[in-house]
Amino acid sequence: MSAISASPPAISRSRWLALGVIATGMLMVVLDGSIVTVAMPAIQDDLGFSPVGLSWVVNAYLIAFGSLLLLAGRLGDLIGRKRMFLAGVGVFTAASLLAAAATSPAILIAARFLQGVGSAMSSAVSLGILVTLFTEPRERAKAIAVFSFTGAAGASIGQVLGGVLTDALNWHWIFLINLPIGLVALAIAVPVLPADRGLGLRAGADVIGALLVTAGLMLGIYTVVKVEEHGWTSAHTLGLGALSLLLLAGFVARQATARTPLMPLRILRSRSVAGANVIQVLMVAALFSFQILVALYLQRVLEYGAAETGLAMLPAAAVIGAVSLGVSARLNARFGERKVLLAGIVLLIGVLGLLTRVPVHADYVTDLLPVMLLAAGFGLALPALTTLGMSGAKEDDAGLASGLFNTTQQIGMSLGVAVLSTLAASRSDSLLAQGRSRAEALTGGYRLAFTVGAGLLVAAFVVAFTVLAQPRPRPTAVTEEAADPAAAPAPVA
């Protein structure tokens, strides 16, 4: 009898309900990132932000979120992942209320920093909870597909929702909407998430290592988000970048010698784990050009409104959901995560390849709808990559593996923002200086960013093809059953 059918129905329902709570926590984080960008002009007008100060509405969140993920993931292993998740959702919800009530730039920036802290606490352990809840391969594949879809489609939903709330009500509601979601998530999470005591702080209470990695990541992310203002070769960028690398090198050296390391380096010995994290940096950096620059192209060049932009990108969310929820788990079981990941990356290369030829006066049906449909590659690549990134996680290290995977995601996003937006802006300025129209200059800048993004995806394909382990495990009763969906009993949903 399979592990699925052997599980009591009440336990199975509880696990899938727990997955719903985890996915809701992820949705809050993703929605918050995209929903805020749509409301930025309204926030600037109401609170009197300067153009430079307005960027800190995003930067304060990114710095706190990206720098604390690894630490929060390991602390989840030590004090209990359920406790860390609940505390994170609580902090995020309270910070959302503070942001909604903000009456000055300083209060909003502080609230956004606290939102980043809460997001890091909950996100860092989400995958760790998931892989300990779903241990049977077929169920885990389905659960990871749901989790990946939440992250991939949340950005499109956030753009639509942000435009509607800001236009129909005001910008305060983009934060107030988090309150009922957060409170319901907390109420359900308390009884359904599995209780875990954790290893205890003595198993990894490396205070020096924690200070080194947090300071190094925080300084590194700050340096990257300020590149557009200072330039890549400025003393500010080179000096702080070198200091960040020095702190992170010190952290690695510390983990190799500490008696109770914060991040045991054994987790990186798995080719699948190490390769998946490298691939994620390249993929996320490249796909920033799809998620953000396409939205900017629609608004600045084609003059779409905020809600129209979200609706234009809705087909991408639909095909991502159809693929990730409908077929990705079966394909992973039948062909293996490596092959499915490679196929997904090929489709994504096609997405950015088409965008490198996008015209100034584009027709949505002929020029952009094919791009949205090829975004199905997200639905293939993200679940497979997530499975590979968590493949080496043991019970004691699941939170750490989850935090590491989320950290490389944020590093990739920060690099994508810094590199691609800077290249696009520089190219646009150059074309304007040559006498091109504003629409032509912006389109030329976006095309360059799409080209570089396609190159990053090619590099990700090469790493996936050469680094990820190729041999398949010897078939067992479970894997054979998973390979044949018709033979396997239906999961309890």
What percentage of the chain reaches a pLDDT higher than 90?
Answer: 13
86, 221: one domain: no
24, 126: one domain: yes
Q: Identify whether 221 is part of a domain.
A: yes
241, 333: one domain: no
**According to the model, what pLDDT value does residue 487 have?**
37
SS (H, E, C) the chain: CCHHHHCCHHHHHHHHHHHHHHHHHHHHHHHHHHHHHHHHHHHHHHHCCCHHHHCHHHHHHHHHHHHHHHHHHHHHHHHCHHHHHHHHHHHHHHHHHHHHCCCCHHHHHHHHHHHHHHHHHHHHHHHHHHHHHCCCHHHHHHHHHHHHHHHHHHHHHHHHHHHHHHHHCCCCHHHHCHHHHHHHHHHHHHHHCCCCCCCCHHHCCCHHHHHHHHHHHHHHHHHHHCHHHHCCCCHHHHHHHHHHHHHHHHHHHHHHHCCCCCCCHHHHCCHHHHHHHHHHHHHHHHHHHHHHHHHHHHHHCCCCCHHHHHHHCHHHHHHHHHHHHHCHHHHHHHHCHHHHHHHHHHHHHHHHHHHCCCCCCCCHHHHHHHHHHHCHHHHHHHHHHHHHHCCCCCHHHHHHHHHHHHHHHHHHHHHHHHHHHHHHHHHHHHHHHCCCCHHHHHHHHHHHHHHHHHHHHHHHHHHHHHCCCCCCCCCCHHHHHHHCCCCCCCCCC
Least confident of 200-209, 261-270, 301-310, 339-348: 200-209
Q: Identify whether 489 is part of a domain.
A: no
Q: Which CATH number does the domain housing residue 117 bear? A: 1.20.1250.20
**According to the model, what pLDDT value does residue 413 have?**
79
Final residue in a domain of this structure, among 222, 244, 259: 259
Q: How many domains does the chain have?
A: 2
Least confident of 242-256, 328-342, 414-428: 414-428
Q: Identify whether 63 is part of a domain.
A: yes
220, 286: one domain: no
Q: Identify whether 1 is part of a domain.
A: no
HSE-up of residue 324 (Cα within 13 Å, Cβ side) = 29
Final residue in a domain of this structure, among 239, 259, 279: 259
Work out the average pLDDT over 465-480.
56
Work out the average pLDDT over 177-206.
79
334, 197: one domain: yes
Work out the average pLDDT over 75-102.
89
pTM of the model: 0.74
227, 312: one domain: no
Final residue in a domain of this structure, among 259, 274, 290: 259
349, 428: one domain: yes
**According to the model, what pLDDT value does residue 342 have?**
93
32, 85: one domain: yes
310-325 pLDDT, tens digit per residue, is 788 888 878 887 887 7
Q: Identify whether 2 is part of a domain.
A: no
Answer whether residue 111 shows pLDDT above 90.
Answer: yes
Of 52-56, 339-343, 488-492, the range with the highest mean pLDDT is 339-343
By residue range, what is the domain housing residue 215?
A: 206-259
**According to the model, what pLDDT value does residue 398 have?**
66
What mean pLDDT is reported for the chain?
79
**According to the model, what pLDDT value does residue 475 have?**
45
Q: Identify whether 43 is part of a domain.
A: yes
420, 452: one domain: yes
Tokens of 287: 């796909």
Answer whether residue 125 shows pLDDT above 70.
Answer: yes
254, 292: one domain: no
**According to the model, what pLDDT value does residue 252 have?**
86
337, 219: one domain: no
**According to the model, what pLDDT value does residue 90 have?**
93
Q: Identify whether 491 is part of a domain.
A: no
Report which of residues 162 and 459 the model is more confident about.
459
Work out the average pLDDT over 86-100.
93
**According to the model, what pLDDT value does residue 470 have?**
54
140, 226: one domain: no
Q: Identify whether 392 is part of a domain.
A: yes
CA 333, 334, 337, 340 dihedral sign is: negative
38-70 pLDDT, tens digit per residue, is 677 778 878 877 766 777 787 788 888 877 887
Cα-trace Rg, the chain:
22
Report which of residues 242 and 484 the model is more confident about.
242
